[in-house]
Amino acid sequence: MSIKKSGATIIFFILISVGYANDGYKLWLQYLPFENKAVSDYYRDYLENISISGESPTLDIIQKELIIASKGFFDQQVLPEFSKTTDSNLTWIIRSEDLPEEIKGKLGTKLSEVKEEGYWLKSYQGKIIITAKTDIGLLYGTFAFLKAIQTREKLENLDRLENPKIQKRLLNHWDNLNRTVERGYAGFSIWNWHRLPNHIDQQYIDYARANASIGINGTSIFNVNSNALILTPEYLEKAKALADAFRPYGIKIYLTARFNAPMILDSLPTADPQDPAVQVWWKKKTKEIYSYIPDFGGFLVKADSEGQPGPHNYGRTQADGANMLADAVRPFGGIVMWRAFVYNEKTPTDRIRQAYDEFKPLDGTFRDNVIVQVKNGPLDFQPREPFHPLFGAMPKTPLMMEFQITKEYLGQETHWVNLATMWREILQSDTYAKGKGSTVSKVIDGSLHGYKLTGIAGVANIGTDRNWTGHQTAQADWYAFGKLAWNPDANIDEIAEDWLKMTFSNDVDFVATSKEIMLRSHEILVNYMTPLGLHHIMARSHHWGPGPWVTGGGREDWTATYYHKASEEGIGFDRTEKGSNALAQYAPEWKKTWGDADKIPLEYLLWFHRVSWDKKLSTGNNLWTEMALRYQKGVEGARWMQSQWAKMEGKIDQERYEHISSFFKIQVSEAEWWRDSCLLYFQQFSKMTLPPGVEKPKHDLKYYLNFKRNFVPGI
């Protein structure tokens, strides 16, 4: 990359960029032009002359990113000059071991607090020093430096030392070989297998840049409903090409392992994890994978779940299965991420009990390079669930969090809902495993139980859409996932604010208004979809739109009626000791509040209790009235978001403004669809009228029951 210095000394800032087309491809790495000369002059000092010590592909990437950023900030009028020496430059990017001894001394022992992937941004005698133990740390530090500029931080007193709190920070792509994406709503898979390995698309590089900028250090590129073909040389060669492209960004490749691959690929008679031939097969296969990808991260496995083969087929435990694979990757330093989302082929009394019942007894029986990957809640990525009871219940087995960034049950890609709000609710939930304050975040960062291995995974919401994520604002969920993966206790207010500034504008009004939309969006969605603890009342299979009437079919626990159990007597799933007693999977402290239908926070009421329609609630309303009012409130919330957004016109580029505006049309009309159809359906049982303030449904129930959905994406 050739580096030129601008000869221009006079710079004109003409704000005609505003209103110019912006499809959102650049994500939060927009590096939008500075808003005036004063701001530009201030940061120019730090960007014009930069010292980067050393040489490596990662350091090249750092240099390139600084060029891209400068081109953006200065509207192509200023380019940084780079030098290897530190003399006279205001910004230094330098490994801590290479710092001049004098400075090392002055920085003191704090320097040793910078760990493997950490960094330190330190203002020092008028300079900014970005230092780290590793080049990846320097890359993270550079992105932090650029973020400080993007969000208009003052640099003089910068003193930011950061280490990731979680080791394995992964995206999980549920991408199929035909490029469809299971639960993908942003088009199709960005992985173009047909063109790999020869063609490395710029989008793969930009994917790696984006992930590195938020600290993600691993990616599992295939669907967990896996195809054994990915373990053949044809696809390993393609995976290797991606691994090579991602390596300098600090991102490792993981593969999903289909449990019966030995049978499919090499006609072994069994996939029994205790069968020596099967064990040998996996060891050989693993060795082969490492011959392609020397730093292969390991396997991600969905077994004994939704038709996937697994150790149950041979009467073995989940630990038997996981340990076999763990033994295969151990010599190479790999790990196994074994999903806890296991459930029997027979419909149980209460599906949400299963993972706990299956895994809890296995605590302590897994190899130390196995980590069990647990969804945030015990059911399946609902708009609201209590935290998964396994968190806190497996002190001897590392557990990692699985969040779903893609919005399977949350209106898919056209609803603006800020997932960080929901994730915080989970992460800050108290497991009481070691007394008060034993939050889920402390379980997964390893501090509560002293896990040696820690991890977090987000099911990606990335596709071929020009803006990556369908909704422009769904980029915020990808961003927030990275930030919470780095630090699960991070402040989601700040995350939202930073994202807005980096992605759209530093305009004060814009940031304030949009942040309020973001922070209120989750509760609004819960209200118009599943208020009061309702769950799994989406349409069958694709889960798009309401389907409280879904009943019958292959499995009862794939229906809505199984979960809401509405009748004239009442509604809700009794999970107290009088019912399935799933509540007992939680610490006793929770029984006190959640176990009592009069004390439980209303947002979990119907999750844990079955109550009558006329039950009087703490709000003063009876259940039916409260439900109807909450649905109405959700619709009004969606309309409020839409009207707030309408005020943003002109504050950002027109293309993204309009993109979001038109999605609001969909969101508001779907919110109404949810309210009208759910209330009409439940009204059959409550036999009560809609309370004042709740709008009359647009159609009758029959209309909603007969509404045909064709070609819904994501399945």
According to DSSP, the β-strands at 399-404 and 127-132 are unpaired
Number of residues interacting with a copy of itself: please give it, by CB under 8 A: 56
Q: Can you tell me the distance from the alpha carbon of 123 to that of 130, in angstroms, rounded to the nearest whole number? A: 9
State in angstroms the smallest separation of the CB of 293 from a copy of itself.
Answer: 20
In angstroms, give the least distance from the CB of 414 to a copy of itself: 7
CB of 200 to a copy of itself, least distance (A): 7
Q: Of 152, 466, 578, 647, which lies in the binding site for a copy of itself, with binding defined by CB under 8 A? A: 466
**Binding of residue 699 to a copy of itself (CB under 8 A):** no
Closest approach of a copy of itself to the CB of residue 522, in Å:
22
Q: Cβ closer to a copy of itself: 31 or 366?
A: 31
Q: Say how far apart CA 646 and CA 649 lie, in whole Å.
A: 6
Instruction: State which residue, 68 or 263, has the beta carbon closest to a copy of itself.
Output: 68
- Catalytic one among 306, 368, 489, 614? 306
From the list 662, 684, 689, 703, which residue makes contact with a copy of itself (rule: CB under 8 A)?
A: 662
Q: Which of 104, 127, 179, 367 binds a copy of itself (CB under 8 A)?
A: 179
Q: Can residue 620 be called a binding residue for a copy of itself (CB under 8 A)?
A: no
Of 76-84, 147-155, 376-384, 578-586, which segment contacts a copy of itself by CB under 8 A? 76-84
CA 564/CA 567 separation, integer angstroms:
9
Among 39, 161, 177, 453, binds a copy of itself (CB under 8 A): 177
557 touches a copy of itself (CB under 8 A): no
**Cis amide prior to 197 (ω within 30 degrees):** yes
Query: Does 695 qualify as catalytic in the annotation?
Result: no
Give 36 or 684: the residue with its C-beta nearer to a copy of itself: 36
Q: How far is the CB of 433 from a copy of itself (least distance, A)?
A: 43
Which residues, 193 to 252, sit near a copy of itself by CB under 8 A?
Answer: 193-195, 198-203, 229, 234
Cβ closer to a copy of itself: 399 or 648?
Answer: 648
Distances (CA, A) of 229 to 45, 68, 280, 531, 625: 53, 38, 19, 43, 54
Return the number of the residue (176 or 677) whose C-beta is nearest a copy of itself. 176
Q: Which of 506, 483, 364 is nearest to 418 (CA)?
A: 483
> Residue 293: CB partners within 8 Å, gap ≥ 6?
236, 239, 240, 243, 253
Binding range to a copy of itself, per CB under 8 A, among 46-54, 111-119, 184-192, 244-252: 184-192
Rounded to an integer, what distance in angstroms lies between the CA atom of residue 23 and that of residue 685?
47
Q: Which tokens sit at 428? A: 């800050």
Q: Which of 48, 380, 385, 670 is catalytic?
A: 380
User: What's the closest the beta carbon of residue 6 comes to a copy of itself, in angstroms?
Assistant: 6
Considering the rule CB under 8 A, would residue 267 count as an interface residue with a copy of itself?
A: no
Q: Which of 475, 457, 451, 455 is nearest to 465 (CA)?
A: 475
Helix (H, G, I), strand (E, B) or coil at 50: strand
- CA 350/CA 370 separation, integer angstroms: 27
Binding mask 386-415 for a copy of itself (x = CB under 8 A): ----------------------------x-
Per 3-state DSSP, what percentage of the chain is helix, strand, and coil (rounded to 5)? Answer: 45, 10, 45
Show contacts with a copy of itself in window 115-134 (CB under 8 A).
none
Look up residue 129 and give its two tokens: 């020093």
Say whether residue 688 binds a copy of itself (CB under 8 A): no
380 is catalytic: yes
Residue at 320: amino acid letter: D
Beta strand spans in 67-201 (E) = 81-83, 91-95, 119-124, 127-132, 159-162, 168-172
Site for a copy of itself in 482-521 (CB under 8 A): none
Q: Which residues pair with 339 in a beta bridge?
A: 373
CB of 375 to a copy of itself, least distance (A): 26
Closest CA to 296 of 323, 264, 267, 336: 336
Contact with a copy of itself (CB under 8 A): which of 49, 60, 71, 506?
A: 71
Comparison of 423 and 664: residue with beta carbon closer to a copy of itself: 664
Residue placing its CB nearer to a copy of itself in the complex, 201 or 327: 201
CB of 550 to a copy of itself, least distance (A): 20
Q: Which of 396, 452, 592, 665 binds a copy of itself (CB under 8 A)?
A: 665
Helices (H) and strands (E) in the chain, counts: 21, 14
Question: Nearer Cβ to a copy of itself, position 19 or 333?
Answer: 19
User: H helices of 571-622, where?
Assistant: 588-594, 605-608
Choose between 195 and 698: whose C-beta lies nearer to a copy of itself: 195
675 contacts: CB under 8 Å, gap ≥ 6: 528, 631, 632, 634, 635, 694, 695, 697
14 binds a copy of itself (CB under 8 A): yes
Q: Tell me the closest approach of the beta carbon of residue 712 to a copy of itself, in angstroms.
A: 7
* Cα distance between residue 93 and residue 90, in whole Å: 10
Scanning 17-25, 364-372, 527-535, 593-601 for contacts with a copy of itself by CB under 8 A, the matching segment is 17-25
Minimum distance of a copy of itself from residue 299's CB (angstroms): 21
603 counts as catalytic: no
Q: By the 8 A CB rule, do 249 and 295 touch?
A: no
The token pair that represents 112 in the structure block = 């040793």
Task: Quote the least distance from Cβ 43 to a copy of itself, whole Å.
Answer: 18
Give me the catalytic one of 48, 75, 408, 670: 408
Of 97, 157, 210, the closest CA to residue 469 belongs to: 210
Cβ atoms 393, 356 nearer than 8 A? yes
The residues in 274-303 that bind a copy of itself, with binding defined as CB under 8 A, are: none
Nearer to a copy of itself, 70 or 134 (CB): 70
* Encoded tokens for 170: 């992964």
State yes or no: residue 666 binds a copy of itself (CB under 8 A).
Answer: yes
Q: HEC profile for 271-295? A: CCCCCHHHHHHHHHHHHHHHHHCCC
Find out whether 685 and 567 touch, Cβ atoms under 8 Å.
Answer: yes
Q: Which residue in 75, 350, 402, 672 binds a copy of itself (CB under 8 A)?
A: 75
554 contacts: CB under 8 Å, gap ≥ 6 = none
CB of residue 199 to a copy of itself, shortest distance in Å:
4
What does the H/E/C string look like for 400-416? EEEEECCCCCCCHHHCC
Is residue 154 close enough to count as binding a copy of itself by CB under 8 A?
A: no
Q: Is 659 one of the binding residues for a copy of itself (CB under 8 A)? A: yes
Question: Which positions lie near a copy of itself, rule CB under 8 A?
Answer: 1-2, 4, 6-8, 10, 12, 14, 16-17, 19-21, 23, 25, 68, 71, 75-77, 79, 177-179, 187-188, 192-195, 198-203, 229, 234, 414, 464-466, 655, 658-659, 662-663, 665-666, 669, 708, 710-713
Residues with catalytic roles? 306, 380, 408
